[in-house]
Amino acid sequence: MNEFDAQRREVIDIARRMTADGLVVGTSGNVSVRCGDLVAVTPSGVDYDDLVVDGIPLVDLDGTVVSGSLSPTSELPMHLTAYREHDAQAVVHTHSLYATALSLLRDDVPAVHYQLADFGGSVVVADYATFGSDRLAETMSEALEGRAGCILRNHGTVTIGKTLAQAYNRARQLEWLCQLWLTAAQVGTPRLLDDAELASAAKRFSTYGQSSR
């Protein structure tokens, strides 16, 4: 067994969850997790149901494939930028409907819910750039500054985390936040939380959950 098979298997599991949860259609979107100085990432244009552990590419932080029988996703520049510039340990990129719809209307996800505190505040919509391009990686990086996620205009979302499970949970939460705003905005002007309340929520999040014993 390869020493990174567990991470490669996790990439497959999360990729399939994206489809099951409706965050992607077909082979769109991509997932990666850092394995020391390497990154396990979904391949390009392969149905997620057909993925096998040996096919998941392992690349270094310069993008060179060091293992795996398939070519990495065309969005590899985005993933590597998140690792090099934002200290990510895992990256999830979706084509989720509500987040992409919001990106056509706004430049950010406003403070409609305290869950935004987990992202570091209001989530920014990155300027549009062609998929797979270095420019897209740049605009993503700008929007991701100080945040755990961003939206790519006319495209989808990117979320990062200390684990792949955390990054994926954030992708689901971000989609829900966008759906919440879009739903409320259909019937009126949503009332927003202020910066002080988001700061209070962020403090609570820092100690949220089960403490280690």
CATH code of 152's domain: 3.40.225.10
Q: 211 lies in a domain?
A: no
For the chain, what is the domain count? 1
Confidence class of residue 213 from pLDDT cuts 50, 70 and 90?
Answer: very low
Q: How far apart are CA 21 and CA 96, in angstroms?
A: 10
> pLDDT tens-digit profile of 87-131?
999 999 999 999 999 999 999 999 999 999 999 999 999 999 999
Residue 210: its pLDDT value, please? 56
pLDDT of residue 37: 95
- Predicted local distance difference test score (pLDDT) of residue 10: 98
Q: Is the per-residue pLDDT at 206 higher than 80?
A: no
pLDDT surpasses 90 at 69: no
CA atoms within 13 A on the CB side of 60: 3
Asked if 142 is an active-site residue, the reply is no
Q: How many residues does the chain have?
A: 213
Domain enclosing residue 56, as ranges: 4-206
DSSP string, 156-199: EEEEEESSHHHHHHHHHHHHHHHHHHHHHHTTS------HHHHH
Q: What is the DSSP string of 103-130?
A: HTT-SEE-SSSGGGGGGTSSEEEEPP--
213 belongs to a structural domain: no
- Mean pLDDT for the chain? 95
- In angstroms, the CA 192 to CA 172 distance is 21
Whether 27 is covered by a domain: the verdict is: yes
Q: And the tokens for 57?
A: 């590419």
Closest among 72, 85, 90, 80 to 35, alpha carbons compared: 90
- Spatial separation of the C-alpha atoms in residues 104 and 145, rounded to whole Å: 21
Q: Let me know if residue 202 belongs to a domain.
A: yes
Which pair of tokens denotes residue 212?
């280690």
Q: What pLDDT is recorded for position 2?
A: 79
pLDDT at 66: 96
The answer to whether residue 7 scores a pLDDT higher than 60 is yes
Closest of 113, 129, 132 to residue 121, by C-alpha: 113
Q: Is residue 212 part of a domain?
A: no
pLDDT of 1 over the 50 cut: no
Annotated catalytic residue within 75, 85, 138, 197: 75
Beta carbons within 10 angstroms of residue 205's beta carbon:
13
Q: 92 lies in a domain?
A: yes
- Tell which wins on pLDDT, 3 or 146: 146
Q: Given the structure tokens 């002080």, which residue do they identify?
A: 196
pLDDT (tens digit, 9 = 90+) per residue, 151-197?
A: 999 999 999 999 999 999 999 999 999 999 999 999 999 999 999 99
Query: Residue 209 has what pLDDT?
Result: 64
Whether the pLDDT of residue 49 is over 90: the answer is yes
